[in-house]
Amino acid sequence: MVDNELCFRSAIDLAKDIREKTLSPVEVVQNALCKIEEINPRLNGFCFVYADEAIDRARGAEHDVLTGKLVGPLHGVPFAIKDFTPTSGKRTTLGSKIFEHWVPDYDPPLVDRLLKAGGIMIGKTTTPEFAHSSFTDSPLWGPTRNPWNPSCTAGGSSGGSAVAVATGCVPIAEGSDAGGSIRIPAALTGTVGLKPSFGRIPMGILPSAFDSIFHFGPISRTVSDAGLFLNVTQGPDDRDIMSLPATDPMDLPIEHCAADLRLALCPDQGFFALDSDVEINTQQSAEALRRAGAIVEEVDLGWTRQIVDDWFQHWAVYLAAFFERHLDEWREHMTPEVVRMIEFGQTVKATDFKRLEEARTKQWVKLQQILTNYDALLTATMALPAPPVGGKDSDYDEEDETGRYRGLDMTCPFNFVSQCPVITVPSGFTREGLPTGLQIVGRRYDESTLLKTAATLESINPWIDSRPPVWP
């Protein structure tokens, strides 16, 4: 029998109770495994579950507690890793039949640090092929469904991680984000998703050490758990030449105070066609911050959908550069959208790709002017609530009759200005009961103010007790 109250405890609370010997790591892990067994056949959040290994590690964690050998701030707490991220001795498929049997012989810095902090890796979570999509659906594992409505997608590409957290299987899960792959599924499942400043959490997994849009980050149910994840995993590593120097760990729980916050508001980023419920929930979140004492003022970003098109070109070139060698042999076994993106990426000239830096610079100049005067920018995370399972990103690539962009996710512009940390937090529900998200964009390298802003909204409109329905 699953103890749902235990399932929905925060990582911080679980770790505290384990340290104080009022809760057994074995009990926590066994309960998590039961929850996975309950939800996974319906939602497909996990592609691998390490039940025996997790129980063994939990027993070791319990012995260490009883003998006074606490390992770290995640001692005995279960977590999940996205199946895009290599894990030593464990299959890592990238959602692709090409890599169905690949077993890496190394852990990237993030995985190593989570384990050294005492966390217990309980499984790997589903992702679309090569983490390419806002829909988690792959030729290898099939679709991942939204716990609020299984006929809808959980988002992507960290959709499995979002499901694992939203349903209480684990309090925190790792995601990766090159265009919104943490924030998209977090927003669509009613969870918290953090894209830290570029380089804050070292990568150490990509073919290139000079990438400029990829991030690791957490999906969690609370802002403070996202801060805990960041405390544990941040800091430099020579495997990632772009990694940043360590900062002082944030005090936990994250403090909240709106009185000294100046916030800019641009719900639609200037060009997206927002769903009416998304618009309402974004405005209501901004108003809640005003009532709490923050100054919130609407601004004009001066952006157009060209930013999205430029990001798509960058992403397509990435896929072509690192995966085109598989096309001849594997084309018929690959996601058609991946094939299309690779083929498009092959047509981009080097000079055109270099000019994207000019476009990114112009985008940054406009955002920088706003962040000079404000602590953070507020926008919707997604223009629409979770769309139906079976869709694809290209289904949402047109203008409406007024010229507004009918795009789905509003996240990729902030991968182009990647030094800015960005978090999505729940902003409410649609009339059909689907979650929506508020995206908060911070100043360069300022996770502290960003998390403070998110925690302030969390204190005003707590979402911790909002749980997806449980199906028999």
- Structural domains in the chain, CATH included, are 4-309+349-460 (3.90.1300.10), 310-347 (no CATH)
Please name the residue that has the structure tokens 């940054």.
Answer: 364
pLDDT tens by residue, 339-365: 999 999 999 999 999 999 999 999 999
pLDDT tens by residue, 211-231: 899 999 999 999 999 999 999
Whether pTM exceeds 0.85: yes
pLDDT tens by residue, 155-203: 999 999 999 999 999 999 999 999 999 999 999 999 999 999 999 999 9
pLDDT averaged per 10 residues in sequence order, the chain, 472 residues: 95 97 98 97 98 98 93 96 98 98 97 98 98 97 98 98 98 98 98 97 87 95 98 96 93 90 97 98 97 96 96 96 96 97 97 95 96 98 98 95 95 96 98 98 97 96 88 54
- Cite the active site residues: 82, 157, 181
Q: Say how many C-beta atoms besides its own lie within 10 A of residue 388's C-beta.
A: 12
